[in-house]
Amino acid sequence: MPSSADFALAQERLAARRQAREAFARAAVDAQRASHAHSEALSRLPYPLNTISAASLRTWDSISGRTGTRPAFRVGQVDAELLDEELLSLLKTQVGEGLKYYGSHLQDEWSTEILLVLRAMLWKLSIWDHDASYGASLQGLRYTDARGEARSRGRERPKPTKWQKGLYGLFSVGGRYTWKKWEDWLVEKEGGYEEPTPLVERLSRITQFLTTAHSIGAFVSFLVFLTNGRYRTLLDRFLRLRLTPTSSKLSREVSFEYLNRQLVWHAFTEFLLFLLPLVGISRWRRILSRTWRKIRRFIFNRKKADDDDEDVRKGGELGFLPERTCAICYSGQNPTTVSETSILAASAGGGGVIGSAQTDITNPYEAIPCGDLYCFACIAQKIEAEEGEGWTCLRCGDIVKECKPWHGDVVEEVERPPSNGKSVGFADEKTESDTPEMRDVEPIPEPDDATLEVNKSVLRRVEAETPAGKTMEESEWSRADPSDSDEQSEEYDEEEEELADFEAAQ
C-alpha cells in the first residue's frame, strides 16, 4: 500500500513533466515566430536571393529541430545498398570457386560477363518480381513511384511501373556492362605498342569528362539524400524511385536473433573441433571411403564375362592400366569420375599410350599378396595411412598390408643342401613307390603222387628227344656276344666321370 509521501512525490513528478511540455511548446512558438520574422525579412530581398534564403532557412529548421531529418530511415537505405553489394561479391566468389576446376583464367577473362549475369539475375528475382532488392527486403523497404507523391499524401504509395523497373535494370545492369567494356576497349587502344589515333584520344577525354561529371553528380545527389532522405542514388532520382517502409508501423528495435545464431554455431563448431580427434574421424573416413568404392565398383564395374570364362580382367577400378604405370600416381593426376571407355578412347589418339612420364613407376615395389607394382613412395604412404587396416589395391581390389622390393626378371638362386657322397641312379631302377603292394592269395595246392609221376615221365621223354648240344647253342645265353659285357662296363665308367665333372662345376 503506497504511503502519502509516495503519492506526493508522484504528483510532483507529473507537475514537472507538465511544466517541461509547456516550456517546450512556448519555445516552439517563439521559434516559429522568429522564423516568420526571418522569412519576412528574407522575402524583401531580390528574386534570386529570396528563394535561396527561404529554402536554406527551412533546411536549417528541419535539421535543428527535435526530430531532425529522420536519420534512422536514411541509415536503412544505405545499409540496403551495402547488403546488395556484399551479396553480389559473395556470388562472384562462389562462381569463381566453381570455375577454377575448368581453368583459373576463366574468372579473369570473363569477370565482366559474370557480373552481368549475376546482376541480371538479382534484378529479375528481386526488383522486377518483388519491387525491392535483397538488401531492401532485409531492411523492410521497397521501391515506390514518387511522381504522384503529392496526390497520394496520406494514402498508400503506388508501386513502380514496369517501364520504371525496366529502365532501372537497363541502366544498372546493361549500362554498367557497356561502360566497363568501353573503358577496357579504350585502355587496350591506348596501351598498345603503336601511338593512339586522334579519334581514340578524343574519345578518351570525353569518357574521362563524363566519368568525372557522373561522380560529381552522384556526390551532390548523396548530399541531398543525407538532407531529405528521399532518393539514395542518382539513378533513383532520375527515375523517381523512392525506398519507403513496407509498413507504416515500422519497428526500429534491434534484434539479436542473428547474433545468437552465430554464437550458437560458433560454440558448436568449437565443440566439433574438440570432439573429432577423440572420435577418430580418419578411421571412419577410411571405412566410408572403402565402402563407397566397393559399392561403386559393384554398380559400375560389374564383370560381364560368363562364369566359365577364364580371361576375366582384374576387379580394380584401374586394372586396365599398363604395368609400367603407377595406378596411385595416375589416380592423383586424373579425375576418378572418368570411365574406362573414355580413357581408352582418349588414349587412342596418342597411339594407344595411357599415362605419361610423370605416372611411370619409379623404385618399383610389389604389393603383397596380389603382386601388383607401385612406386615405393606411393604404396608406402597409402599403407601407412591405413594404420594397419589394409589398403585396397587399385588394380585388383585386394587388401594390401605389406610390400616388398620387386626383383624383376632376375631368377633367385636356390641353395642346395650339401651332399657327402656320390649317388648314381638309373631310369629303370625301381623305387618303393613303383613296387606293387602285396595282396593275399590262395596257397598253391600240393600235387599228389600220381601227378608227380606223370610229370617226371614227360620230362624224361623230352630230354630223350632233344640233344644236349643243340639246347646249349640255341639258348639265349650261348648266343650272347662276349664283347657286350666290356662295352657295358665302359659306358658305366663314362657316365660316372660326367657326373663327377658336373658336381665339381657346381
The model's pLDDT over 269-320, given as tens digits with 9 standing for 90+, comes to 888 888 877 776 667 777 777 777 778 767 765 654 444 444 444 466 777 7
Residues 111, 55 share a domain: no
Residues 97, 150 share a domain: yes
Q: At what angle do helices 198-228 and 176-190 cross, to 10 degrees?
A: 140
Residues 206, 79 share a domain: yes
What 3 state SS string does 301-366 have?
A: CCCCCCCCCCCCCCCCCCCCCCCCECHHHHHHHCCCCCCHHHHHHHHHCCCCCCCCHHHECCCEEE
Give me the percent of the chain exceeding a pLDDT of 90. 16
Regarding predicted confidence, which is higher, 237 or 425? Answer: 237
Residue 333 lies in a domain: yes
Residues 116, 56 share a domain: no
State the pLDDT at residue 423. Answer: 53
User: Which pTM was predicted?
Assistant: 0.43
* Residue finishing a domain among 235, 250, 265: 250
Residues 170, 145 share a domain: yes
pLDDT at 180 over 50: yes
- Give whichever of 189-193, 208-212, 296-300, 397-401 has the largest mean pLDDT: 208-212
- Give whichever of 322-336, 372-386, 416-430, 467-481 has the largest mean pLDDT: 372-386
pLDDT at 68 over 50: no
CB 396 within 8 A of CB 317: no
Residue 424: partners with Cβ closer than 8 Å, 6 or more residues away: 495, 496, 499
- The mean pLDDT value of the chain amounts to 74
Residue 428 lies in a domain: no
Helix (H, G, I), strand (E, B) or coil at 448: coil
Q: Give me the long-range contacts of 331-337 (CB less than 8 A, separation at least 24).
A: 331/394, 333/358, 333/359
| Exposure on the CB side of residue 54, measured as CA atoms within 13 A | 14
Residues 91, 31 share a domain: no
State the pLDDT at residue 503. Answer: 66
Residue 500 lies in a domain: no
Diameter of the chain by CA atoms? Answer: 189
Lowest mean pLDDT across 62-71, 262-271, 413-422: 62-71
Residues 81, 56 share a domain: no
State the pLDDT at residue 386. Answer: 76
Calpha distance 186→202 (Å, rounded): 11
Structural domain range at position 169: 71-250
Residue 456 lies in a domain: no
| Residue given cell 630223350 in the structure block | 464
Residues 265, 243 share a domain: no
Residues 18, 129 share a domain: no
Residues 194, 79 share a domain: yes
Residue 416 lies in a domain: no
pLDDT at 160 over 80: yes
Q: How confident is the model at residue 210 (pLDDT cuts 50, 70, 90)?
A: very high
State the pLDDT at residue 485. Answer: 52
Residues 245, 266 share a domain: no
State the pLDDT at residue 276. Answer: 74
The model's pLDDT over 84-127, given as tens digits with 9 standing for 90+, comes to 999 999 999 988 888 887 877 888 888 889 999 999 999 999 99
Residues 267, 198 share a domain: no
* Residue finishing a domain among 405, 435, 459: 405
Calpha distance 42→46 (Å, rounded): 9
Number of Cβ atoms within 10 Å of the Cβ of 426? 7
Q: What is the CATH number of the domain that holds 362?
A: 3.30.40
Average pLDDT over residues 62-83: 70
Regarding predicted confidence, which is higher, 42 or 31? Answer: 31
Helical (H) or strand (E) element with 111: helix 111-122
Residue 374 lies in a domain: yes
Of the candidates 439, 327, 453, 301, which has an alpha carbon nearest to the alpha carbon of residue 379?
Answer: 327
Residue 172 lies in a domain: yes
Specify the number of domains making up the chain. 4
What CA–CA distances, in Å, run from 287 to 195, 290, 309? 66, 5, 32
* Residue finishing a domain among 234, 266, 300: 300
The model's pLDDT over 463-505, given as tens digits with 9 standing for 90+, comes to 776 554 444 445 444 444 555 555 556 666 777 777 777 666 6
Residue 205 lies in a domain: yes
